[in-house]
Amino acid sequence: MIEARGLTKRYGRTVAVNALSFTVQPGRVTGFLGPNGAGKSTTMRMILGLDRPSAGEVRIGGRRYMELKEPLREVGALLEAKWVHPNRSARAHLRWMAASNRIAAKRVDEVLDAVGLTAVAGRRAGSYSLGMAQRLGIAVALLGDPGVLLFDEPVNGLDPEGILWIRQFMHRLADEGRTVFVSSHLLSEMALTAQDLVVIGRGRLIAQTSTKSFIESAADSSVRVRGPELARLHSVLAGQGLAVQELPATEDTPATLVVRGSSTEAVGELAGAVGLVLHELTESRGSLEQAFIQMTGGEVEYQAGGGAAPASSGLAVPAGAQAPFAPPGPVPAGAPGFPPPGAVPPPGAVPPPGGGSGPAATRETASRGGQEGTQ
Ligand SMILES: Nc1ncnc2c1ncn2[C@@H]1O[C@H](COP(=O)(O)OP(=O)(O)OP(=O)(O)O)[C@@H](O)[C@H]1O
Ligand SMILES: [Mg+2]
């Protein structure tokens, strides 16, 4: 279990992490979600004792990282994939790490096997693809068989096969009872990977909740229905007091009705009762992208100078990936799964802290390198 209480980190005038409190439970994958610059990596570095909090604290299993006697056996982390010496083989690297941490050499072969690197373990790590380097990073994290695992953006740059592998691997680790905390700005990826979410924006907590209720609480759901007698269908449904919107035909799709606040069962039964043929009856749940933007109410502008960002800047959907619950149809214009411009945040959404041009909005990338560490 990881517990953060009032965790705060300032870099000069930049408040990278701002009074963040959350808990990460064992036996589940918890997604750490937020746009670029939200403070995810900084939080992870503080969990690992690589950065000192300016205020507050974070504990792993009730203790601060510095108090852990054998940290590698308690917490493993993948912060950056390409940090292994390029001329060293994966096996040599792991053996060196094992030896310097009093971990049995046979554990090296176990972790190589677990991440599927056994066949290439003798090859120079410098020749590895990004996917292989990620697997090696995960092998390192697993070396001490720790109960707590941290992964910072593990799927960045991976192909669909690599993404799927990592996702399944995280589930396996959680099923083994471990605490798995994984950061991403890829919302649709998190919806598939994480059971719970810690959502942050500008260093502040926006929500801590299950992925399911995060989506349900903020995203709209609707029923998409079409058939050969669309006008009649429209009047039957509207006649029952349902909110029905007609989407005109496009080159690819015939005209379709979108019914809000109902269910496929109810719509199907109403159509059936008057003998109407249907060609489509689909429930479309709101996407995590929609949920996120509605919760944060335009709080996607974590950019230099606080200027308005293009909608896609902080909320990327991996190339080729579908927003998991996004329907192919009735999502309004814009990027897949995104609400229309000017969508109103729901009541209760946390307002953006400090307005659009506060110090937290300034990225000081030039000064980052020196303070970033490796494990
Ligand atoms: N060492 C540092 N020195 C100065 N500012 C920093 C440092 N590390 C991070 N920051 C700033 O703190 C804020 C949070 O950065 P952080 O890297 O934690 O965000 P992130 O959520 O991991 O973003 P990304 O999705 O881009 O990885 C940013 O404004 C960043 O510029
Ligand atoms: Mg980061």
Higher pLDDT, 328 or 105: 105
- Does ligand 1 lie within 6 Å of residue 246's CB atom? no
Give the per-residue pLDDT at 253.
85
Mean pLDDT of all residues belonging to the chain: 77
287-346 pLDDT, tens digit each: 666 666 666 655 544 333 333 333 333 333 333 333 332 333 333 333 332 233 333 333
- Does ligand 1 lie within 6 Å of residue 373's CB atom? no
- Does ligand 1 lie within 6 Å of residue 16's CB atom? yes
State yes or no: pLDDT of 274 exceeds 90.
yes
Residue nearest (by alpha carbon) to ligand 1 atom 26: 36
Give the per-residue pLDDT at 177.
96
- For ligand 1, the distance from its centroid to the CA atom of residue 30, given in whole angstroms, is 20
CA distance 284 to 263: 10
Residue nearest (by alpha carbon) to ligand 1 atom 7: 368
- Beta-bridged to residue 224, according to DSSP, are 258, 282
Give the per-residue pLDDT at 286.
65
**Ligand nearest, relative to CA of residue 14:** 1
Give the per-residue pLDDT at 370.
36
- Does ligand 1 lie within 6 Å of residue 46's CB atom? no
Higher pLDDT, 369 or 134: 134
Q: What count of other Cβ atoms lies within 10 Å of the Cβ of residue 178?
A: 21
Q: Which residues make up the environment of ion ligand 2, defined by Cβ < 5 Å?
A: 40-41
- Does ligand 1 lie within 6 Å of residue 185's CB atom? yes
Higher pLDDT, 88 or 3: 3
**Ligand nearest, relative to CA of residue 363:** 1
Amino acid at 258: V
The average pLDDT across 200-206 equals: 90
By most ligand atoms within 8 Å of CB, the mutation choice from 15, 40, 42 for ligand 1 is 42
- pTM confidence score: 0.68
- Does ligand 1 lie within 6 Å of residue 54's CB atom? no
β-strand pairing of 204-210 with 28-33: unpaired
Instruction: State the SS3 of the chain.
Output: CEEEEEEEEEECCEEEEEEEEEEECCCEEEEEECCCCCCHHHHHHHHCCCCCCCEEEEEECCECHHHCCCHHHHEEEECCCCCCCCCCEHHHHHHHHHHHCCCCCHHHHHHHHHCCCHHHCCCEHHHCCHHHHHHHHHHHHHCCCCCEEEEECCCCCCCHHHHHHHHHHHHHHHHCCCEEEEEECCHHHHHHHCCEEEEEECCEEEEEEEHHHHHHHHCCCEEEEECCCHHHHHHHHHHCCCEEEEECCCCCCCCEEEEECCCHHHHHHHHHHCCCCCCEEEEECCCHHHHHHHHHCCCCCCCHHHCCCCCCCCCCCCCCCCCCCCCCCCCCCCCCCCCCCCCCCCCCCCCCCCCCCCHHHCCCHHHCHHHCCCC
Residue 202 pLDDT class (50, 70, 90 cuts): confident
The average pLDDT across 56-74 equals: 91
Give the per-residue pLDDT at 218.
59
**Ligand nearest, relative to CA of residue 200:** 1
- Does ligand 1 lie within 6 Å of residue 144's CB atom? no
State yes or no: pLDDT of 158 exceeds 90.
no
- For ligand 2, the distance from its centroid to the CA atom of residue 42, given in whole angstroms, is 7
Give the per-residue pLDDT at 87.
81
Angle made by CA atoms 223, 226, 230, in degrees to the nearest 5: 120
